A and B are shown apart, each in its own frame.
Chain A
Amino acid sequence: MSQQQPSMWEDLPLFPDSASTLAGQVDGIYLFGVAVAVVFSLLIAVLILYFAVRYRRRHADDVGQPEKTITWLEIAWSVIPLGILLVMFGWGAKVYFAAMRPPADAVEYFAVGKQWMWKFQHPQGRREINDLHVPVGQPIVITMTSEDVIHSFFVPAFRVKADVVPGRYTRVWFEATKPGAYHLFCAEYCGAEHSRMGGTVYVMEPQDYQAWLSEASPVEDRVLSGEELFAKHVCNTCHYPDSAARAPLLAGLAGSEVELADGRTVIADDDYLRQSILNPGASIVAGYQPLMPTYQGQISEEELIQLLLYIKGLEPAEEGHGGSAP
């Protein structure tokens, strides 16, 4: 980009790249907003200038005409803007829901933000830092959390953004439509190197993505797998693979309904599993004693993700086939 000074104006972009299915929807409501803003700003500016010239004071003692009350006019300019505003609200809410609700066939990626880097994990297990490779035409949902302060995942070309909050999972989804390299920014101020916490999202053709996945990971893999972590923390002392005698069965747990000791029923989603590892006493499953110790501070966010993936991958063992899972 910084070659021998092309014309300065060639470096002046006015509109960002569009590379996701959402981009067109956001651009649509944005352009509508711009149109409303331009029309009303021009209307006011022209009227002000016209009145200021047309009714300029010609003699030092002049006074203006007495004011007339025109009720219908006042009602009109209260109600008409309200109507336009409600259109913007409704349209905007529609786009927001589309952006906030990943489609059912979205593939789950994971991300952990920390001062000042992004760590991504692909569903196939490959991990990378700051850069993210994704296939074109595939809805992708990224489950994100932070190890320290609040960050925000922002890819302008996709028109998506979501805060990454410590202590909980947030989600962002997109479906890339155009191969290329796009900026990834952290949009929530997070400390000294905030402006350098980012990288590039590479959108690839599916076959290129497959090829890329099979390359050796450049990231040195220091994180144990979920299975290894399960063994390391001796979770199987209580969570037997085939018996719910001491602790709830984990196979088939993810996504199911769980009845708690205090009568509530919850869905065992990522947040529930995460909480149950870190703060088990908070939601005891009906019929069990609060025996499980807390793992707060002993398991990193990245390890939690591995455990989560492990638990979610466990096949429900059918009655009579006990003992097949290790």
Chain B
Amino acid sequence: MSERQGLRSLNYLNATVGLKSWLLTKDHKRIGILYLIGITLFFFLGGAMAVLIRLELATPAGDLVQPDTYNRLFTMHGVMMIFFFLIPSIPAVLGNFLIPLMIGAKDLAFPKLNLASWYIYMIGGGFALWAMLNGGVDTGWTFYTPFSTTFSNTYVIATALGIFILGFSSILTGLNFVVTIHRMRAPGLTWFRLPLFVWAHYATSLIQILGTPVLAITILLVAAERLFHIGIFDPALGGDPVLFQHLFWFYSHPAVYIMVLPAMGVISELVTAFSRKRVFGYKLIAFSSIAIAVLGFLVWGHHMFLSSQSVYAGVVFSVLSMLVAVPSAVKVFNWTATLYQGSISWDTPMLYALGFIGLFTIGGLTGVMLATLGIDIHVHDTYFVVAHFHYIMVGGAIMAYLGGMHFWWPKITGRLYPAFWSKLSALMVFVGFNLTFFPQFVLGYLGMPRRYHAYPEEFQVLNVMSSAGATVLGVGYLIPMVYFIWSMRYGKRASSNPWGAVGLEWQTPSPPPTFNFVDSPTVDHEAYDYTVRPGDQKVA
């Protein structure tokens, strides 16, 4: 341990020691790491289920697991990945860690509430895990009524309760971010000097605040119907099952933007840092985040074109869904234009970012196809939908999450990871992902419905391709897990600014001190100001 004698200045990791100092911490950076542990656990649990699903689907006959088991697998896969991994992933880990750093604050506005949010998340996760260990739930992550309220005899209540509790974690995190961004910015850091990562999280938080409570009440109504037979959704009890779909998607469509908006924020940071260039059309990107958040609340009905809602409602929701594609397209064009005449490095985070732009483009364009009424008639509830949302959530959100982790890992831990292995894993994730999910577009148009445990033989070849891709993808996800853990002990020490990036988080030591900055920063320039060479920059 030759570094020992280097006795670095106190930082947030070594300022206090012991398990208690972590479990009672109010430091946003430590809470970010607590979240990281939680979501990684759920990511690999959800991933393990995906592996079983792909194994089962390698053959047309349902021969690996029973139909009941299969239904629980895809349900728990969806619940874990969406509610317990994707929704908290970027905001709760990277957002928590970075927002105060990026705006030059000592912490979030409500540090105790932040810690409470983590405990709420873990308690919610505990319920979901308990339900899973006792046999799981088989309603699909969408909990459609009356199946979920009357017909399923699995652990619906326990899982729903887990999601209900988790929702408060999401709400409180969003609340904390909005107040922090409004009230805690460093002197001189005006709204239009904020990094786009912060804008994206602001938009995300609005959705968390406005959408999640509706999910909460919907879950309560499902529980009331299931436990006390208070008829709200079951037509046999006088209810309307389609009302459930309206309430559910009122949250769950915007929830897609909870997953992808922070990802867009990450990409804006990566593209600028690795092009060393101010982002093209800063204001347009910032406003497009808000536009997506607002329009996102008006498109939920596009999940219900065939649910017996009125054709006119279908038309309105279709055109609104088209509108939400515009700000997304604008972002893609602006990122691409940022590359023009940049100084582009091919470091690992940039590989993830470029991969994101490509995959998100495909995901977005296929989303447009789904919003097109005439196409949706045929591909609704088929593998086309499965492929589309995995392009957004895995090709989009997870690529950005991994890109962000690779970008800020030196800041978080003060260590570097091996470049070769990280580039290899980025390549494997990209190739494996496309091999897994592209064939599913074809399967969808051929007519293979989603959530099928067994399928006609002519669909086999495409399914085998998909399963083969999933193994590549799985290995691609395991490699970073290994070298990240390895780097915490054996990785090279990182300087305060290993990428030569601008942004306040790079002007404080790696890892940062407990209260983030040695001297409280003031800001007198716009974000992504790369007009000076990194070598000439003032060092904090």
A residues in contact (CB < 8 Å) with B: 1-2, 8-9, 11-16, 22, 25-26, 29-30, 33-34, 36-37, 40-41, 44-45, 47-48, 51-52, 55-58, 60-67, 69, 73-74, 77-78, 81-82, 85-86, 88-89, 91-97, 99-101, 115, 148-150, 152, 154, 156-157, 159-163, 165-168, 170, 183, 185-196
Contact = CB atoms under 8 A, between A and B. Distances in A.
A16 B374 CA distance: 16
A187 B365 contact: no
A62 B242 CA distance: 58
B311 A100 contact: yes
Contacts of A190: 147
Given A11-B461, A191-B138, A150 B346 contact: no
Contacts of B68: 192
For the residues of B in contact with A, the DSSP-based class is helix
Contacts of A163: 306-308
B440 interface: no
Interface of B: 62, 67-68, 71, 138, 140, 142, 144, 146-147, 150-152, 235-236, 240-242, 275-281, 284, 305-308, 311, 314-315, 318-319, 322-323, 325-326, 329-330, 332-334, 336-346, 354, 357-358, 361-362, 365-366, 368-369, 371-382, 442, 445-447, 449-458, 460-462, 500, 530-535
B26 to A, nearest CB: 38
B342 A64 contact: yes
A240 to B, nearest CB: 31
Contacts of A85: 322-323, 325-326, 368
A325 B337 CA distance: 79
A91 B368 CA distance: 13
Given A33-B372, A154-B381, 14 more contacts: A22-B377, A30-B445, A37-B366, A37-B368, A57-B344, A86-B319, A96-B311, A154-B447, A160-B378, A161-B378, A161-B381, A195-B451, A195-B453, A196-B454
B342 A183 contact: no
A171 B319 CA distance: 24
Contacts of B146: 148-150, 166
11 contacts: A16-B446, A29-B375, A36-B368, A44-B357, A77-B329, A95-B377, A148-B151, A149-B144, A162-B306, A167-B235, A189-B147
Nearest to B281: A74
A-B pairs, top 8 by smallest CB distance, nearest first, are A156-B447, A167-B235, A95-B374, A64-B277, A96-B373, A92-B372, A64-B342, A51-B339
A63 B449 contact: no
B326 A82 contact: yes
A311 B229 CA distance: 34
Among A8, A74, A157, A196, residue most surrounded by chain B Cβ atoms (within 10 Å)? A74
B343 A89 contact: no
Given A51-B339, A89-B319, A194-B451, A67 B375 contact: no
A96 B242 contact: no
Contacts of A78: 284, 326, 329-330
B308 A69 contact: no
A181 to B, nearest CB: 12
Given A52-B346, A67-B279, A195-B453, A26 B241 contact: no
